[in-house]
Amino acid sequence: MPQPSEDQLKAQYAEIAVLAGQLAHEIKNPLSTISLNMELLREDLANTPETPQTRRGQERIDRVRRECQRLEGLLNDFLSFARAQAGRMEAVDMNQMIEELLQFFHPQAEAAQVEVVQLLDPFVPAVAIDREQMRASVLNLLINSVQAMPDGGRISVRTRRIGENLVLDLIDTGAGMDAQTISQIFDPFFSTKRGGSGLGLPAAKKIIETHGGTIRVQSEVGRGTQITIELPPALEGPKLLEQRR
Ligand SMILES: Nc1ncnc2c1ncn2[C@@H]1O[C@H](COP(=O)(O)OP(=O)(O)OP(=O)(O)O)[C@@H](O)[C@H]1O
Ligand SMILES: [Mg+2]
């Protein structure tokens, strides 16, 4: 049998990716119905007199709800990974985006006893990005950092300029990673966490690369991790329009 050509393989891959996306979607809706009904069932049980049976029932419902939440998270991550390609590009002030994101993130960091330090260089260039996708990626990276600091710590969020480019560094004082782990973190579904999807970093990488950027990781066990994202500047006027296409 003749080997399929590269174009044929690409077309097959694209078809499978679309099907997988549709499948994930098909699973999501009934899953949220299950979740919602479990919640209602739990409320019903909470309103009946407590017996050993109702208590056991509640525990079982909680277990199902936790699994539903985990699957919902996995499907969301999968969908954003499958969809990760530059969508609506606009010139974005990264400092402003970071400030807004950190305000939103503050309660979560505080609850985990994580101090967040902002070091924003006011002279960084605007970047042409899909704001929502980039925001979601950076948020995932911040959550990774918090998860690497179970006893609290510090995340520094820094913007700076290298040549024409904007650089965003996320530096945490968390558990860090050994070389073996670092070599796998961008592999889809690689995770060291119970219930982790392992899609956060691959999705972030894909999104950053579709924006013409790069993502690098430096880490040391017991000391912490630095993620460095470099993005090209948004061009002015007609060139920006070209980038948007
Ligand atoms: N800041 C960090 N410090 C230490 N380890 C990290 C850090 N960020 C990522 N990792 C490691 O990389 C792995 C992959 O991260 P990724 O975000 O892709 O998936 P995950 O966090 O495990 O799952 P999910 O994002 O669905 O919760 C993590 O399981 C963890 O081992
Ligand atoms: Mg993650």
Q: Within 6 Å (CB) of ligand 1, which residues are found?
A: 77, 140, 144-145, 148, 172, 174-177, 181, 185, 190-193, 196-201, 225
Q: What is the spatial distance between Cα 111 and Cα 222, in angstroms, rounded to a whole number?
A: 22
- Whether 124 and 187 map to the same domain: the answer is yes
Q: Whose CA is nearest to atom 20 of ligand 1?
A: 198
- Whether 127 and 195 map to the same domain: the answer is yes
Q: Number of folded domains in the chain?
A: 2
- Whether 38 and 101 map to the same domain: the answer is no
| Per-residue pLDDT tens over the stretch 140-172 | 999 999 999 999 999 999 999 999 999 999 999
Nearest to 234 by CA among 135, 126, 160: 126
Q: Which residues are within 8 A (CB) of 21 and not within 5 positions of it... i.e. 6 or more apart?
A: 79, 82, 83
- Whether 130 and 231 map to the same domain: the answer is yes
- Whether 62 and 106 map to the same domain: the answer is no
- Whether 17 and 120 map to the same domain: the answer is no
Pick the last residue of a domain from 83, 111, 142: 83
Residue 1 lies in a domain: no
Domain span at residue 231?
Answer: 90-244
pLDDT by residue for the chain (245 residues), tens only, comes to 678 888 888 788 778 877 888 888 889 888 989 999 999 999 999 999 999 999 999 999 999 999 998 898 888 888 877 776 656 788 999 999 999 999 999 999 999 999 999 999 999 999 999 898 899 899 999 999 999 999 999 999 999 999 999 999 999 999 999 999 999 999 988 999 987 888 889 989 988 998 899 999 999 999 999 999 999 999 865 444 444 44
- Whether 101 and 181 map to the same domain: the answer is yes
The CA 78 to ligand 2 mean position distance, Å, reads: 12
- Whether 74 and 96 map to the same domain: the answer is no
Q: Whose CA is nearest to atom 10 of ligand 1?
A: 144
User: Which residues are found with C-beta within 5 Å of the ion, ligand 2?
Assistant: 144, 200
Pick the last residue of a domain from 30, 56, 83: 83
Read off the CATH number of the domain in which 223 is found.
3.30.565.10
- Whether 223 and 120 map to the same domain: the answer is yes
